[in-house]
Structure 1
């Protein structure tokens, strides 16, 4: 129903605008130009607060300004999103970097157009009082994980980076929707998850405080989620890719300054999203991961960052045939040089 409403809103003409031509709160998004190119973005998962900037950019008209008619689709794990991009089932994907590296190594024809979360949000989450204060404390414990998602794929590397073997823990495979219940009822001692996603959700549902150990703080400081594009699209429609990146950078820059409004745009336009207060907290927790004081602008990476990620994946996660960063990432786009 919200998608239908969003489509109706996009077709309505604005009757009033804030200074600068942007719609004021509660107004419809400006329609894209009649000749706008239809573009789909498949997320890494069902909508949560990290995705608010895309809905905010849609509602504020940032994509329309670039001649893009954007449709946002839910995903089912970064690996599946990358496959959908490669198969031409979606124009762009929002996916984690470790699965991207492994996908390229396996011959999947995709590249990153810029990683936005430059500190990865992958974590081990526990309830307060669990006694788990370090990765080594996981020895002998039961850890819930979902095959196919980014945390599950790199968990063995996290153990290796901390001098542990896969046999030191018991990984319990489960559906993502079941992880919270298993953690809160004691079915597992900890779960793998994005700390800024599941953490606020668990706390809102249970009233219990969540503690977490970030992969990035425990020897596996990998780049996080960003834009994935197919090699064919990059080769044949680089101008479109540059426009999409530019609109996304603006959407993120504005959303982190207006978290409440950005979260409200998800309530207005997304499907099956968490409650508003959870969305706001999730987005605010994501903001430091952008590392804007270093990057200067959302999604702008350096070759050194990519080389560090490649080296860590090679050392701890058996990345096959490691290549130069340019084989995985087009650095000209988020820097403004891709148009």
Structure 2
């Protein structure tokens, strides 16, 4: 943990409360902040791997990685210039833009969304309709909670078919493990390995993407002002992040080790390895480089959010996404 503080100081801690990049400690470098969607877990290991390997420094970026408190909050911080870049889920990005937030995605990395309903295997839940009459724990304000009614609707159910129990994000794992709820809303690659490590019980899940709601997942979000004023910085940040993810996919144990060294309050290393392994599977690397999206994928997500997620006055993909930053090679 001490090494984390030391390296992040070396990497350049950006000024608190301002997302505008400032001059770094070395000539020609810029201090940049990245706010995650949540407290560090395995999905975030590539950022620490990129720090460890110097991929961001190679692009003239002194990066500070900051924990988040939900994608919606991260997007709001980007919109208010409280952080340079955000790592956030796509559905709340669409909602944020529709309410007037001047933010854009510059590349979604998890091309298959990780949103899921998780439960212990002894619950004998194998399909969405098996949730009827059961209790599902969720955290108001997060992306999964917001989209859950859409997932129910997509699977021929209504909000009255299940009982939603509001649970603080930090308490969801305990609520499931202690039997206070039958299932929880969560990212399967985040909570799943953690629950298994803590309980010794197998966790199963219903992935939103496999049951009627295949939407883009997490990626890089930037304020339009930053994007327009410094496209070069944005392009360099995206390039370094693409390299970090591509190389981490080849060295999952090394990426997990880098996170243990540099992050704070991260899960145990063996859990990080499982979380990152599952996250890499959502990149769909056989379709191209990390973070490179297609208009078709964006349109599918927009259409689903319009149909099921109460997205009003939906625009074209370019309303939410600048596809010129993430390069395929």
TM range (shorter): over 0.9
Partner of 1:333: 325
Q: Against the structure 1 CA distance between its residues 7 and 93, is the aligned structure 2 distance closer, same or farther, given a 3 Å change threshold?
A: closer
- RMSD between aligned residues: 1.5
Between the two proteins, the alignment pairs up a number of residues equal to 317
Partner of 1:316: 308
Partner of 1:193: 186
Structure 1 residue 210, shift from structure 2 partner? 0.1
Q: Which runs of 5+ in 2 are unaligned?
A: 13-23
Partner of 1:14: none
Work out the CA distance in 2 between the residues paired with 1:291 and 1:152.
Answer: 25
Work out the CA distance in 2 between the residues paired with 1:244 and 1:232.
Answer: 16
Q: Is the 8 A contact 1:144 1:173 kept in 2?
A: yes
Work out the CA distance in 1 between the residues paired with 2:171 and 2:183.
Answer: 13
Work out the CA distance in 2 between the residues paired with 1:236 and 1:61.
Answer: 25
Aligned to 2:32, the other structure's residue is in SS state strand
What CA deviation, in whole Å up to 9, does each residue of 1:89-135 have, x standing for no partner?
00000000000000001111100000000000000000011021111
Work out the CA distance in 2 between the residues paired with 1:96 and 1:253.
Answer: 20
State the TM-score, normalized to the length of structure 2: 0.94
Partner of 1:228: 221
Bigger drift between 149-158 and 69-78 goes to: 149-158
1:265 aligns with 2:258: yes
1:288 aligns with 2:281: yes
Instruction: Say which of 242, 245, 249 aligns to 1:252.
Output: 245
Aligned to 1:335, the other structure's residue is in SS state coil
Work out the CA distance in 2 between the residues paired with 1:41 and 1:3.
Answer: 15
Structure 1 residue 10, shift from structure 2 partner? 4.9
Work out the CA distance in 2 between the residues paired with 1:289 and 1:8.
Answer: 32
Q: Against the structure 1 CA distance between its residues 7 and 309, is the aligned structure 2 distance closer, same or farther, given a 3 Å change threshold?
A: closer
Work out the CA distance in 2 between the residues paired with 1:4 and 1:322.
Answer: 42
Q: Which runs of 5+ in 1 are unaligned?
A: 12-30
Work out the CA distance in 1 between the residues paired with 2:316 and 2:9.
Answer: 46
Q: Is the 8 A contact 1:123 1:214 kept in 2?
A: yes
